[in-house]
Amino acid sequence: MAKHAHSHEEHHGSALVEAARASLTDAGEQWTGMREAVFEEIARHEVPASAYDIADNLSRARGKRVAPNSVYRILDLFVRTNLVNRIESANAFLVNTHPGCRHDCIFLICDDCGKANHLDDDRVTGALRSAGRDAGFADIRPVVELRGLCEDCAA
C-alpha cells in the first residue's frame, strides 16, 4: 500500500529472504542461521514487532532461550544495511520489502491496530535533508512518522 516517488521491486516470501541475504552479503556481512531466523521472524509480522516479541517467538520455535540483546544486535545490523526499518516511536521494527533500495520512508502508523505502512516521497524527505544541511548538520537521516487511524480502523 506504499506510494512510491521512485520505482523499486517489492519482494515477498522466499524472494524477500533471498533479496535480504544478497543485500547483506553484498554489504560485506555474513548471512548466518540466526540472522536468517531473525529476518524470517520479523518478515512474517504484518505490524511492527519489538525485539522482545521476536526473541520470545524464536525461543519458542527453537526450544531454547534467545536473548533479546542478541536480537537487538542483529536488528541494528539490519537497520544499518537497510533490511529492516525501525519505527522509532514504538521501538519496534518492520521488514523492508525492497532490500538494496536506499531511501527515506515516511511511516503511517495506526494508533488502533498498530499497522504501519510506508510511503516514499523524496520531495518531503529531500526538503528535510536540505533544511538540516542548511542548519549545519551532515549525514542526515530523516525519520518521519505520522500517527492516526488506518483506512480499516477509521471506517
pTM exceeding the 0.85 threshold for the entire prediction: no
Question: pLDDT tens across 15-28, in order?
Answer: 899 999 999 999 99
Domains and CATH numbers, the chain: 13-95 (1.10.10.10), 106-154 (3.30.1490.190)
Question: pLDDT tens across 92-103, in order?
Answer: 999 988 887 776
What is residue 4's predicted lDDT score, i.e. its pLDDT?
44
The grid cell for 81 is: 544495511
Helices and strands in the chain: count of H runs, count of E runs: 6, 5
- CA gap 67, 143 in Å, rounded: 28
The grid cell for 144 is: 518521519
- CA gap 37, 59 in Å, rounded: 11
